[in-house]
A and B are shown apart, each in its own frame.
Chain A
């Protein structure tokens, strides 16, 4: 132990000291049910096992998949990295990649299955805002209770009490039970306590952060402040622009392992390139369930890139395809495929129909695939939901034959490297579309009136 301390101390003269070192960290969850849920059933199961009998709780004909000892999900698998003091580490990855598990282990909410983490300093997270607030207690009492839950001593809270109250702007109501607070006051007070914790290491999970946009902005601001003062910040986000703005290094987690760790731009770029996800692919195996009628049914919809791979996240600069596979069951009238995109606010961003003249004749019986290509540099950042309709037309009006709403979703992301419509700006922009327009400029020299 001693030589190790010495070594770290010596190195700190040269570089910033390591505050967190994660060594071969793994975490497994058992898939399916943890147990049968009741004690008596577990006993029955155990008793049957002891006698070598099959699981008595299974229905006849059901297969014992043996999830009790069998399948395990590796939420994290052999993850190792170190973080230096004062570093802001962005963590990105798809849902279920293991980001939140990592934060949970770091904040000691749950224990790892193997491996270990050495941590120097107090860890706190902004995701636990308002945790442990008791509605019957007054603001004052809750500040002390919440502070203590987060690990502050009474003395520390005494010192910071006035500051906290000031920050939360609740002086007048400090002796009122918090159940009478407006939700805004409640969140402000809760955040004020967390913000005055002064941890050496701060964990922020933007996905879990409560509150409105204003509040999240405050969180981000606080993170910025904290990193300025030489503290270390772990920052989980799906918002690439915040990641790029705030992080010094980015960790990309995929399926529980480190996919990439390093310079923000590079890692975010590699994030766009990985994997498939079911959110952006929908398929109907069974003819009966497929949307449509006796004439025509939609069998599959997916979001694809230029290489025909299913993608969930779309680079704003690249063209994206919406691929529809439908089955013509009986001969009928000519079909017009239609796609619509809706953004997160429910705004109808675009509608497009296929105007190719090969749709003028009825389709042959069998499977047909058609793909709508949306050009790059058109859609704005954010989540888009796709709706599909196969229409026939009768004197100018559309008659719906097969419709499916919000069938797949995809995420448009701007890697912010400067060649998108945002140029060198990094913030969030409004507008349903952000096309790269053709701009022109004229120059008019000032007219000089002074005679020489």
Chain B
């Protein structure tokens, strides 16, 4: 092994990360176990959170503000938005804290730093799958009660790609921000409400189709828009998607991940000197 000043920009040492796969899995486990220790409801919290958010949205945006939902049952519409969005939002906020939260650990021992963001993606993916299963259960319940829903099987088959895009976007933005927070603490606060504001710029509580034609480009410029709309289109049969928008999002995701990796790679080697 050779220790030297700078590695090439894209030398991410993924091989080394692979050797530390046990560590990644243990981080995932730690995240899970430590979250619901000493709570009464335990893992049920994973379900209660999106459920309560959905109910709140249904009451406020659906009933009081009467926002359109593309003709879908309001409950399902908001739940799909909430569940999908929170995966992205959690990936972003948690990975953005990588360096600051783990400064103590990173300062004492070496392991591939990417193990932390990667483990965050995985543990959030598990949360997402649990919540998504709940969403599907509700879809089934509505169908059994006579609501007509036309899922699109072809698009459902694309779900893994959609998840990859969300994970990539969350990771990319997250590690860029986490790298910047080692120098500028401003970004920590930015993330807090930035993510919340971003939610309103994404068709989570309203369908993209409700945006006037001349502002469509604004909403479609948001790389998360096609992802959420595609999810809705796949499982509920209503949404505004086309392949071009998705390809744009995919490209966006790749660029963010690459830029993020380069910055992360740079920062991880010397951040102990600045934190």
Contacts and interface: CB of A to CB of B under 8 A. Distances in A.
Interface of A: 29, 34-35, 37-40, 42, 104-120, 125, 127-128, 131-132, 134, 136-137, 141, 144-145, 148-151, 153-154, 177
B187 A39 contact: yes
10 contacts: A37-B184, A111-B269, A111-B270, A113-B5, A128-B109, A137-B30, A141-B29, A145-B30, A150-B109, A153-B22
A118 B110 contact: no
B64 interface: no
Contacts of B27: 145
Contacts of A111: 3-6, 269-270
A131 B109 contact: yes
Nearest to B272: A110
A158 B211 CA distance: 58
B3 A154 contact: no
Contacts of B22: 148, 153-154
Interface stretch (B100-108, B139-147, B221-229): B100-108
Interface stretch (B32-40, B159-167, B192-200, B247-255): B32-40
Nearest to A156: B22
Interface string B3-35: 111100000000000011011001101100110
Given A117-B4, A131-B109, 16 more contacts: A34-B273, A35-B183, A105-B3, A109-B107, A109-B110, A110-B272, A113-B5, A114-B5, A116-B3, A131-B105, A141-B33, A145-B27, A148-B20, A149-B109, A151-B111, A154-B22
A40 B190 CA distance: 13
B109 A112 contact: no
A108 B37 CA distance: 34
The interface size bin for chain B is 35 or more
Interface string B164-184: 000000000000000010011
A107 B110 contact: yes
B3 A108 contact: yes
A75 to B, nearest CB: 9
A137 B38 CA distance: 11
A252 B29 CA distance: 44
Contacts of A29: 273
Contacts of B107: 109
A134 B269 contact: no
Contacts of B29: 141
B30 A141 contact: yes
B109 A110 contact: no
B23 A134 contact: no
A187 to B, nearest CB: 15
B2 interface: yes
Given A116-B2, A145-B30, A153-B22, A109 B186 contact: no
B23 A149 contact: yes
A43 to B, nearest CB: 10
A96 to B, nearest CB: 15
A107 B270 contact: no
B1 interface: yes
A370 to B, nearest CB: 46
B108 A112 contact: no
Nearest to A150: B109
A327 to B, nearest CB: 44
B136 to A, nearest CB: 31
B20 to A, nearest CB: 7
A118 B1 contact: yes
Given A119-B1, A177-B37, A110 B108 contact: no
Interface in B84-108: 104-108
B109 A145 contact: no
B3 A106 contact: yes
A252 B19 CA distance: 36
Contacts of A34: 183, 273-274
B183 A110 contact: no
Nearest to B186: A39
A292 B184 CA distance: 46
Nearest to A121: B1
A256 to B, nearest CB: 15
A112 B105 contact: no
Contact of B109 (A125, A134, A136, A177): A125
Given A119-B2, A148-B26, A110 B33 contact: no
Contact of A109 (B19, B108, B184, B187): B108
Contacts of A127: 108
A38 B188 CA distance: 11
A72 to B, nearest CB: 12
A114 B7 CA distance: 12
Nearest to B33: A137
Contact of A39 (B5, B23, B111, B184): B184
A153 B37 CA distance: 26
Nearest to A35: B183
Nearest to A112: B5
A136 B183 contact: no
A112 B3 contact: yes
Contacts of A125: 109
A136 B108 contact: no
B186 A38 contact: yes
A189 to B, nearest CB: 16
A132 B274 CA distance: 21
Given A29-B273, A110-B269, A149 B3 contact: no
